[in-house]
Amino acid sequence: MVGVLMPIELHNPVTDRLASFALANLAAALPEMVRPMEFAGQSLALCGAGPSLRGATLDGYDRVWACNSALPYLVEAGAKVDAAVGIDQTPGLLREWGSAPDVTYLVASTCDPALVAHLRAHGRRVVFFHNCVGFDGEMHHYCEEWPPAFMVASGATVVSRVIGLAGWMGFSRVGVYGADCAFGAGDLVHANGDGPHEAYGNPLMMQGEIDGRVWRTRPDMLLGAVDLVRRVRASNGAIRLFGDTLPNALMTKDDAFLDEVMRILPPGTTPEDFYGQQD
């Protein structure tokens, strides 16, 4: 990997509304929550929306979950989808799920209440889990005011975060598809044909080289790639990555290499504290 040591701060554009979103979703109706071990011993195809989802074969799984825009893409392709999964709090998810395909929706309690209202207006089943986002009083709110449920906490993308939810719900085998964590040929971002500007507006884009191949991505996707690699390694074969993706390109790299690709810095530190000054 070649590049520069550069601290990057990731900010949620709706940080100031997350607490109110969670309160509104709780107040709107008696919420249905995810249940532990509901799918004990079953297998799951967990699908991100990356370009490698095109042509993926999802046969042989008990369940298929589609994240974000993977839902309409797979439905239009005629694939069987059991549930859609979302954690995004911006209006983007409402746009991607505008047609509200007839599946179960697993959504974070901090999702925009407008999304939840949209799904319920279409008669869809909405099931909540929690997503750690750091607003004041968050743990008390989830533990004391909501019914019991799982909280996802690590990972910078929806796929890397909800893998933990899949394990808690009992899946013994998870195949991960469309988790490119990078742009495809021509800077294709999503299987549905989105480019970076259609998907993200004006994103911060990054470029690096691994084993002679150049990868283009953005910071949260790069962090998600590293996190996925570490989760797969810790799963003892229960999680497998499929497709020509950045996480698969990193699977053979050691932890020191992964730390150089992207790591979360403790508060008050800089890259130089870990790697020294650059020449």
Query: What pLDDT is recorded for position 24?
Result: 94
- Strand, coil or helix: what is 203? coil
- Taking the C-alpha atoms of residue 87 and residue 15, their distance in angstroms, rounded to an integer, is 13
Query: What is the token pair recorded at 173?
Result: 């085998």
Query: What pLDDT is recorded for position 91?
Result: 86
Give the containing element (helix H, strand E) for 52: none
Q: What are the tens digits of pLDDT across the range 204-253? A: 788 889 999 999 998 889 999 999 999 999 999 999 999 999 999 999 99
Query: What pLDDT is recorded for position 34?
Result: 97
Residue 42 has pLDDT above 70, yes or no: yes
Name the DSSP class of 266.
P
The bridge status of strand 206-210 relative to strand 213-217 is antiparallel
Query: What pLDDT is recorded for position 194?
Result: 85
Query: What pLDDT is recorded for position 260?
Result: 86
- Taking the C-alpha atoms of residue 267 and residue 250, their distance in angstroms, rounded to an integer, is 26
Residue 71 has pLDDT above 60, yes or no: yes
Residue 279 has pLDDT above 90, yes or no: no
Query: What pLDDT is recorded for position 206?
Result: 86
Q: Please name the residues in contact with 256: beta carbons below 8 A apart, sequence gap of 6 or more.
A: none
Mean per-residue pLDDT for 64-80?
Answer: 96
Residue 257 has pLDDT above 70, yes or no: yes
Query: What are residue 130's phi and psi, to 5 degrees?
Result: -105, 150
Query: What is the token pair recorded at 79?
Result: 């694939």
Query: What pLDDT is recorded for position 154?
Result: 79
Report residue 2's pLDDT band, with 50, 70 and 90 as the boundaries.
very low
Query: What pLDDT is recorded for position 1?
Result: 39
Q: What are the tens digits of pLDDT across the range 144-200? A: 999 989 999 877 789 999 999 999 999 999 999 999 999 999 999 899 988 877 777
- Strand, coil or helix: what is 186? helix
Mean per-residue pLDDT for 70-87?
Answer: 97
207: β partners:
216
Beta-strand (E) ranges in the chain? 32-33, 43-47, 63-67, 83-86, 104-108, 126-131, 151-152, 173-177, 206-210, 213-217, 239-241
Mean per-residue pLDDT for 29-36?
Answer: 93
Report which of residues 16 and 262 the model is more confident about.
Answer: 262
- Taking the C-alpha atoms of residue 224 and residue 159, their distance in angstroms, rounded to an integer, is 8
Query: What pLDDT is recorded for position 10?
Result: 65
Domains and CATH numbers, the chain: 15-262 (3.90.1480)
Q: Which amino acid is at 37?
A: M
- Taking the C-alpha atoms of residue 99 and residue 121, their distance in angstroms, rounded to an integer, is 12
pTM for this predicted structure? 0.91
| Cα–Cα nearest to 67, from 142, 174, 144, 206 | 174
Residue 118 has pLDDT above 50, yes or no: yes
Query: What pLDDT is recorded for position 4?
Result: 61
User: How high is the mean pLDDT of the chain?
Assistant: 90
Measured between its terminal Cα atoms, the distance across the chain in Å is 16
Tell me the CA distances in angstroms from 221 to 16, 157, 217, one per residue in order: 23, 7, 6
Residue 272 has pLDDT above 50, yes or no: yes
| Cα–Cα nearest to 58, from 42, 71, 47 | 47
